[in-house]
Structure 1
Amino acid sequence: MPQPRIPLFLDCDPGIDDAIALGYLLCQDDVDIAGIAASGGNAPVEQTTRNALGWLQLAGRTDICVHPGADRPLAQDADYALETHGETGAGYARLPLEGLPPSDTDAAHAWAAAARAHPGELIGVLVGPATNLALALDLEPRLPQLIRRLFIMGGAFNYRGNTRPTTEWNVTWDPEAASRVIAAFGQAYIAGDAPYAPVMAPIEATEAVVMTPERLAKIRSRGDLSPNRTPQWSTWLDQLAAALRFYFEFHEWDGHGYLAHIHDPYVLAAAIEWARQAETTGKVGRAGNDRDPFTTIATDELRVSDESIRAVEPDRREVMARGDTTPVPWAETTQAAVDIELTGTLTRGETVADWLGRWNRPANAEIIRRIDAESFLDNLTEALQKGPGGPTQP
């Protein structure tokens, strides 16, 4: 029986850890890349778009579309993390300067088109600011029903920030966009219009995922896992090492030691592995809810009436009706009501979770609290060491 395909849309702002995520994605042969969106964030959008294109071209994947996105947040001026990722957003890496052009379709329209093309199946992964997806919601309000599940790298819950004292970079870059996305996807889950809560991976969890020079050397080595590695992929890894050298230096300057927190690849990998496990085990839907989550996205009772949504396979309908859930891989999670602070003079952009139920609101997000970083990093190491050519073992 052929392995199920996983359609996935990645929204990123490359960025050095974004580049690792892109490399990991290219190594997953059972994933159909429905598109890659670039956002302003770690660098201006023109640069992040060039970086995404450059990393893809370096890997020989000129078939993948990169969709340029928003150049500024919805309600504030843009800021960039050039001290963290370098003037080009790629550290010391030298990426191709000419060649692969960006798509004529902007990121917001690309989100909407990908979701319509894969109703109920598309995995959405957001590892940059939420601006593109927020704008896509204006174009297609049904996105929370069309997208199978959304995975978000962002936030800091009761934790010191990496941008302001209590805030994380992606959310801080565009708090209004993050608020809009969490509200839309969370409300769809609460209402029963979508079977899954959005997953949030905040920095207090993802900072456990640490790249070291020793692990990087293992990735670049030619061991038993990489007998068929191509010279092209070795060149790709050489440039990733150059990018990471800058990232190591920044983290050392910032007081963390000569290492790098690599948030983004974990979130992407968790999304892919979650989709694989959901297909394999048939655990689809929400825990503790006696409503058929399929019905909420597949009948005329609710807002979504698109014929393509109602065409999901009948055998999946039976699976979804059971109300089982598939855990987020390599993680311990909890559900809570989440909101974004938009007006605080000291805390604008802070993600707030109502752990004690004081708001009397239902949970609208699944929050990753702890990550089995070593197990994930072993998976990442294996994937990058092998290079494109097959999925790794979980």
Structure 2
Amino acid sequence: MAQKIIIDTDPGQDDAVAILLALASPELEVRAITAVAGNVPLALTQRNARIVCEIAGRTDVPVLAGCDAPLKRPLVTAEHVHGKTGLDGVDVYEPELPLTEGHAVDRIIEELRAAPGEIILCPLGPLTNIAAALQKAPDIAGKIARIVLMGGAYFEVGNITPAAEFNIYVDPEAAAVVFGSGVPITVLPLDVTHKVLTTRARIDAFRALGRIGETVAAWTDFFERFDVAKYGGEGAPLHDPCVIAWLLKPELFSGREINVEIEVESELTRGMTVADWWGVTDRPKNALFIGDVDADGFFELLTERLGRY
């Protein structure tokens, strides 16, 4: 039986690839895609999510708009990475697929109450929608099978500030709510995502797949220019597809159960995931923090699934 998931996202080229990976995988039943403000404002993230569903030929998947700003702070976006549309690299258009009526937060609550213990939440962006749902309906915490998220870092530390990863930095108060919820959490941090780099050979393998592969290659060609210039590596990290890959093949990944706390007070380290990797405190473990990945296995999985379109 397929695992039910809700993808909460702020597309973003790597978000788009993650959505395509999920929609190509029969092991997963995508119950909804919920958009949140993050990489670009909500008006663009909800549009981009609908575009990706159309590209995938999956107009049956409901797409809902969620929160347009963090819980307590002004929105910080990342057009410097993803371009003004969030999906730069291909022609962006107004999709025919309409938004599903209702608010994303309400849909998350409804889905969890209708199928308690059956749904995994997959946040690929700031955690605003997830935290808002937990605050609005505290009873859902016990109904979430697991939260599998891309965010944070330990050894790699930060990509938007010296101390913080972007998704957590944008809404640290939301992240604190999620990590304090008692829900089982798996974290795919920068420590892992920076090991799955889009080399020339890997992008060429995407491009050889045809229409979908050419689209993914165009996105990664655009997306990598920022990271190559910043880090000096051979390609860009595909952050968000790691969430879906962990669901499909957790054996590609390794990590440990640790305590993770979110810094919300300090302007210097705002949004830092204070990850007790070495167990130096007695704080209770609240997350499976992934530390390593088989990068070749990851790209084999991704390329094989994209080839199914």
Bin for the TM-score computed over the shorter chain = over 0.9
Match of 1:265? 241
Match of 1:159? 156
Match of 1:218? 205
Q: Structure 1 stretches (4+) deviating beyond 6 angstroms?
A: none
Pick aligned residue for 2:266 from 344, 352, 357 = 344
Give me the whole-angstrom Cα distance separating, in 1, the residues matched to 2:64 and 2:291.
32
Cα offset, 1:355, TM superposition: 3.8
Judging changes above 3 Å, is the alpha-carbon distance between structure 1 residues 103 and 260 closer, same or farther for their aligned structure 2 residues? same
Larger Rg: 1
Match of 1:44? 41
Where do 1:67-106 residues align within 5 Å?
67-106=64-103
Match of 2:256? 334
Give me the whole-angstrom Cα distance separating, in 2, the residues matched to 1:40 and 1:334.
30
Which letter maps to 2:196? Answer: V
Match of 1:226? none
Cα offset, 1:357, TM superposition: 4.4
| Cα distance per residue 1:265-290 (max 9 Å; x no partner) | 011121244xxxxxxxxxxxxxxxxx
TM-score by length of 1: 0.75
Which letter maps to 1:347? Answer: T
TM-score by length of 2: 0.95
Matched, 1:243 2:240: no
Give me the whole-angstrom Cα distance separating, in 1, the residues matched to 2:187 and 2:241.
14
Judging changes above 3 Å, is the alpha-carbon distance between structure 1 residues 215 and 179 closer, same or farther for their aligned structure 2 residues? same
| Cα distance per residue 1:67-116 (max 9 Å; x no partner) | 11111111111111001001100022113314111111211111111212
Pick aligned residue for 1:203 from 164, 185, 190 = 190
Judging changes above 3 Å, is the alpha-carbon distance between structure 1 residues 167 and 125 closer, same or farther for their aligned structure 2 residues? same
Give me the whole-angstrom Cα distance separating, in 1, the residues matched to 2:34 and 2:172.
19
Give me the whole-angstrom Cα distance separating, in 1, the residues matched to 2:231 and 2:2.
42
Which stretches in structure 1 are left out of the alignment for 5+ residues?
189-196, 223-233, 274-327, 388-394
Judging changes above 3 Å, is the alpha-carbon distance between structure 1 residues 177 and 61 closer, same or farther for their aligned structure 2 residues? same
Q: Secondary structure at the match of 1:134?
A: helix
| Cα distance per residue 1:333-385 (max 9 Å; x no partner) | 11111100111131011000234545422211111011111111111111112
Cα offset, 1:145, TM superposition: 1.5
Give me the whole-angstrom Cα distance separating, in 2, the residues matched to 1:64 and 1:157.
35
Cα offset, 1:158, TM superposition: 4.0
Match of 1:367? 289
| Cα distance per residue 1:11-59 (max 9 Å; x no partner) | 1110010011011111112322110011111100110111110111122
Q: CA RMSD for the aligned pairs?
A: 1.6
Which letter maps to 1:175? Answer: P
Give me the whole-angstrom Cα distance separating, in 2, the residues matched to 1:238 and 1:357.
45
Give me the whole-angstrom Cα distance separating, in 1, the residues matched to 2:165 and 2:95.
33
Instruction: Check the 8 A contact 1:37/1:68 in 2, yes or no.
Output: yes
Cα offset, 1:235, TM superposition: 2.9
Match of 1:35? 32
Give me the whole-angstrom Cα distance separating, in 2, the residues matched to 1:206 and 1:252.
14
Pick aligned residue for 1:255 from 221, 231, 249 = 231
Q: Secondary structure at the match of 1:151?
A: strand
Q: Secondary structure at the match of 1:87?
A: coil
Instruction: Check the 8 A contact 2:198/2:234 in 1, yes or no.
Output: no
Which letter maps to 1:72? Answer: A
